[in-house]
Structure 1
């Protein structure tokens, strides 16, 4: 084991509390051993020096002793983003034993510059089974991803499907998106308190969605499905936890379906576990995913889940999920939700998840061991 902590720079899209990648590194931060590994962070969730998200981990990580570096948001000007990324890596990158890049579309900059300045361990991490919800963007990203792979020395992924998508037949290491299982176990007091706060009757059946408000998550479609369910059973509600750039599209869908009193947008909350306790099923009709942290959290709360086939089958860790194609008849989606809402809780799910390796503490340990093996390989 190294005599001093391994210094790792985590390069992530953001530290937005509603973003899956941010929650993955948050769990690593919570459960890692600072005497073995030290984390710093670099992200592009910034506009002219102003952080873009109101609810984020930046300050919490800094208070814990990590540095958080930012560059300007890539979508606001890619040339500026690339220039700033190269500049900051040239300035700080040589301080790190490992650069761990969670942004495959930018790895051709991040990992190339890391190699140039002498970082010997460069990890590329796959979190998704697609690079974009836009066909043209996928065409654009394919060569960028190919170049980025050339500068990686190690491949890590959250699931088999996400690994095969980005790395093909190359060898990769799967590190599960573990969570603090006990924090998300069902709690009746939390359920009752949340429903009282939101004005939801204890007898109502509630559909829950969690994620960033972006096209990938397909929330307008979720609202359309719920609208049909609500017509069949008025004692139903939907809550959506998260926020993002496409909020107006979701609000428009709610208004179009006249569901202002039945679909609640909760924003980004600190008490996410209470939301999982407060709903009766978890609904994820995403266009694509890797292995979503929110689905692991929902299963830890004992919820049955309805997924689109854009979500990898591996996501159904507890064997309690149903997968439907997005082009299935609307009636199939409604029936799926009805059945799921009436299934009831599965109290054994946390122990099932732990048995399958989805404890955040266990996964932080696996990650640290992975880093140590990389460093040990260099020092032999």
Structure 2
């Protein structure tokens, strides 16, 4: 038994390349030791058996030896979701030592099924400091989250803020959202080539946003702030990386602000690490976050960052970011972006991130040690 790796089922919302949770577990898989742990995956990013995202990690993970199980999207038919999760655990649940659930509002089902098939170690992971951007969803999620915690035996969070939100006074372990730092380092050659590809001049100021196009990320607000910024800096461009259900609405706002020629919706890109080099400022006016992976990536690229104060202060790992209330006057937001742009590239950031524990390799090691302690009963 000692020679067998610990088998873990990672339960995630999706393996969409633009989703922060997916990038976190993908990085764990890249830097784990297969002799110590083995990861398989379960997600519900599927509708009637058809995967929902074009750019995803599913095939890549299968190619390196992981199994990826899918069930249909919970919000479409919760009873079907519960039934399908039950079927997956009935079929393969006995193969796993640990289930690691990244979906607090589905843990009532996922971790219950894990318990029923005898999986002793059931990890619940908090990635956010809020449960939804919609009031009715928050109302729905509160009891679901409470029930899910009942079936968990171990608690992990990406930040103190996210941990306190979901677990309250219960003890939890913080494991940072580490990234492969060297891949996100500023690259002048990538900047030059990609700016040319995107139709951006070398001297144009570029404000960048990264994330799913959903309400939580507050991109319509970002576009309105940028509209004001663009008045002062007519050469400025905005680059938004990601995709999602609210793309059409965002395109409408961009059009209504007469910014279609200067706001670039680049979608989900596999060269996202190089695209941070195109940007001059990273802008995140989110309604809520846990500890966003994209903000770690932006800091690794040396970008000055501007956040809403709904983003946890822990996000500013390098101590170089600026936080502002969403209630602040739009002129103040514009001035804050201008000040960030004037700071220029922050060349010490990669070293600071390494020192403060945000390399993917280091975090994969910490997670493996955590699993090993669970199995040893410590």
TM-score (norm 2): 0.99
Pairing 1:302–2:295 present: no
Q: How far does residue 82 in structure 1 lie from its aligned partner after superposition?
A: 1.4
Cα pair 1:2 1:372 within 8 Å, conserved: no
Cα pair 2:3 2:35 within 8 Å, conserved: no
Alignment map for 1:265-280 (pairs within 5 Å): 265-280=265-280
Query: In the alignment, which residue of structure 2 is the partner of 1:48?
Result: 48
Residue 76 of structure 1 aligns to a residue whose secondary structure is coil
Query: In the alignment, which residue of structure 2 is the partner of 1:239?
Result: 239
Alignment map for 1:32-47 (pairs within 5 Å): 32-47=32-47
Query: In the alignment, which residue of structure 1 is the partner of 2:110?
Result: 110
Runs of 4+ in 1 over 2 A off after TM superposition: none
Structure 2 residue runs without a partner (length 5+): none
Alignment map for 1:1-380 (pairs within 5 Å): 2-377=2-377
Deviates more, 1:122-131 or 1:338-347: 338-347
- Looking at structure 1, the residues matched to 14 and 335 of structure 2 have their Cα atoms a distance apart, in angstroms, of 37
- Looking at structure 1, the residues matched to 90 and 156 of structure 2 have their Cα atoms a distance apart, in angstroms, of 24
Residue 208 of structure 2 aligns to a residue whose secondary structure is strand
Q: How far does residue 3 in structure 1 lie from its aligned partner after superposition?
A: 2.2
How many pairs were matched up? 378
Q: How far does residue 94 in structure 1 lie from its aligned partner after superposition?
A: 1.4
Deviates more, 1:135-144 or 1:301-310: 135-144
Q: CA RMSD in A?
A: 0.9
Residue 296 of structure 1 aligns to a residue whose secondary structure is helix
Residue 115 of structure 1 aligns to a residue whose secondary structure is helix
- Looking at structure 2, the residues matched to 89 and 219 of structure 1 have their Cα atoms a distance apart, in angstroms, of 38
**What is the CA deviation profile of residues 334-368 of structure 1, one whole-angstrom value per residue up to 9, with x for unaligned ones?**
11111111110111110100000001000000000
- Looking at structure 2, the residues matched to 288 and 86 of structure 1 have their Cα atoms a distance apart, in angstroms, of 31
Residue 7 of structure 1 aligns to a residue whose secondary structure is strand
Residue 342 of structure 1 aligns to a residue whose secondary structure is helix
Q: CA 1:59 to 1:15, structure 2 compared with 1: closer, same or farther past 3 Å?
A: same
Q: How far does residue 81 in structure 1 lie from its aligned partner after superposition?
A: 1.1
TM-score (norm 1): 0.98
Residue 88 of structure 2 aligns to a residue whose secondary structure is helix
Residue 251 of structure 2 aligns to a residue whose secondary structure is helix
- Looking at structure 2, the residues matched to 158 and 89 of structure 1 have their Cα atoms a distance apart, in angstroms, of 26
- Looking at structure 1, the residues matched to 239 and 90 of structure 2 have their Cα atoms a distance apart, in angstroms, of 44
- Looking at structure 1, the residues matched to 132 and 67 of structure 2 have their Cα atoms a distance apart, in angstroms, of 30
Cα pair 1:217 1:286 within 8 Å, conserved: yes
- Looking at structure 2, the residues matched to 193 and 150 of structure 1 have their Cα atoms a distance apart, in angstroms, of 52
- Looking at structure 2, the residues matched to 129 and 4 of structure 1 have their Cα atoms a distance apart, in angstroms, of 36
Q: How far does residue 2 in structure 1 lie from its aligned partner after superposition?
A: 3.3
